[in-house]
Structure 1
Amino acid sequence: MDNLTHYLATTLKTLRQQREWSLSRLAEATGVSKAMLGQIERNESSPTVATLWKIATGLNVPFSTFISPPESVTPPAFDPQQQAMVVTPLFPWDPELCFDHFSILLAPGALSESTPHERGVTEHVVVISGQLDMCINGEWKTLQAGEGVRFAGDAAHAYRNSSGQTAHFHSLIHYPRS
């Protein structure tokens, strides 16, 4: 896990410096506080998935930019008592096809609200096991294992597990071509 948080800290700082942005400018672009961004860059804080989405959207980079560390890093074990959500890349960012593909575990009772992604993003969600509630365009819909939904990711949306078992789902995110 230390390698993963170090990778995240280094990646964030590098992206900010490449743009010649201050922490204040980054905070404006992402909606994440300057203090939190500084803590992440100094490897003093591990952000939530929702915070990472805000940062990726504000920087206009794929989400997997922050969670696809060198191959030597193994993903953390999922402990629903300690973590609400774990996101693991199945296929990291593909610049030719413009997509990320994730495997996501959502703990029982957990809620993850996602800020809008960049304009033109389309998300595909397929439940692998368990049950997943999704809020799309202000309406909640329950998906069972084997069911899926496709929606515009450039609007606020949310994932909720109202069951007593871990929900496992895949999320395929298509980004518009630059």
Structure 2
Amino acid sequence: MSDGSVAPSSDTNLPSPTDLELPLVLGRNLRRLRTSRGHSLERLAKQSGVSRAMLGQIETGKSVPTIALLWKVANALHVPFANLLQTDAARGPVVLRRGDAKLLSSSQGQFTSRALFPFDGNHQVEFYELKMGPLHREAAEPHAAGTRENLFVAKGAVEITVGLEKPQTLMEGDAILFEADVPHVYKNLVASEATLYLVVTCAEDVV
């Protein structure tokens, strides 16, 4: 798909009820955040670099965008990434079952992200499980100014390149902390799936 969308039923496995709910959650939140800031679809399209047609498809629940596309929209709206996936607040302990995860993907499923925190309000800190296909390379655009990423390699070996800095090789058990408001690239160095855990700290002045 030319704008980086992922069809809700593109996976070979049958979608869980939560998978089926994801397009509706995204659409509701995008429409709410856009209108609360007084943006038209045309204005948000210009600011985010995402076409008006794609934004309209997201708002009507017809498309689930890739991770990279969602970051563009979140940056243009000046909100944390998780705000686009926000659900009603829960009280007390919250158990996040693997089978109920809202899984986002890019690159035909070679890069997937699973949130390990509830989307129940504004979060300055977000926690994700990332999976990278064998030898896959994933490029990320700059996030909002002040955003930091803390990445831990649970399985495999990866190379992280931040902006114009020298690439850093991380083996299993290694971690890296970096400013994510510049382009950065994740690269799986081995011919098997890599598992990473990512903590994203959003800028303090995000509204």
The one-character-per-residue Cα deviations of 1:28-63 (angstroms, maximum 9, x if unpaired) are: 221212121111112222211111111111111111
Give the 3-state SS of the residue equivalent to 2:150 in structure 1.
Answer: strand
Q: TM-score, normalised by structure 2?
A: 0.75
Task: Report the alpha carbon displacement of residue 76 of structure 1 after superposing the two structures with TM.
Answer: 5.7
Larger strand proportion, structure 1 or 2? 1
Say which SS state the counterpart of residue 91 (structure 1) adopts. Answer: coil
- Aligned: 1:29 with 2:55: no
Alignment of 1:153-172 (within 5 A): 153-172=180-199
Distance 1:62 1:79, change over 3 A: closer
Aligned to 2:117: 91
- After superposition, the CA RMSD in angstroms is 2.7
Distance 1:176 1:170, change over 3 A: same
In structure 2, runs of 5+ residues without a counterpart are 1-18, 89-95
Cα distance in 1, alignment partners of residues 66 and 105 from structure 2:
15
Runs of 5+ consecutive residues of structure 1 not aligned to the other structure: none
In structure 2, the residue matched to 1:103 is 129
Task: Tell me the distance in 2 between the aligned counterparts of 1:55 and 1:81.
Answer: 18
Q: How does 1:1-178 map to 2 (within 5 A)?
A: 1-69=19-87, 74-75=100-101, 83-92=109-118, 95=122, 98-138=124-164, 139-178=166-205
C-alpha distance in structure 2 between counterparts of 1:79 and 1:41, whole Å: 18
Shift, 1:110, TM fit: 2.5
Q: Is the 8 A contact 1:5 1:43 kept in 2?
A: yes
How far 1:124 sits from its partner (Å)? Answer: 0.8
Q: Aligned equivalents of 1:79 and 1:165: distance in 2?
A: 18
Q: SS at 2:64's partner residue?
A: coil
| TM-score normalised per structure 1 | 0.86
Give, in whole Å, the separation in 1 of the partners of 2:75 and 2:62.
22
Following the alignment from structure 1 to structure 2, what is the Cα–Cα distance between the partners of residues 66 and 111?
25
Between 1:62-71 and 1:8-17, the stretch displaced more is 62-71
1:65–1:76 CA distance, 2 compared to 1 (3 A): closer
Query: Are residues 23 and 46 of structure 1, via their aligned partners in 2, closer, same or farther at CA, if it must alter by over 3 Å?
Result: same
Is this contact kept in 1: 2:29–2:85, CA < 8 A?
Answer: no
CA contact (8 A) 2:162 2:185 kept: yes
Measure, in 2, the Cα distance between the counterparts of 1:77 and 1:156: 23
Structure index of larger Rg: 2
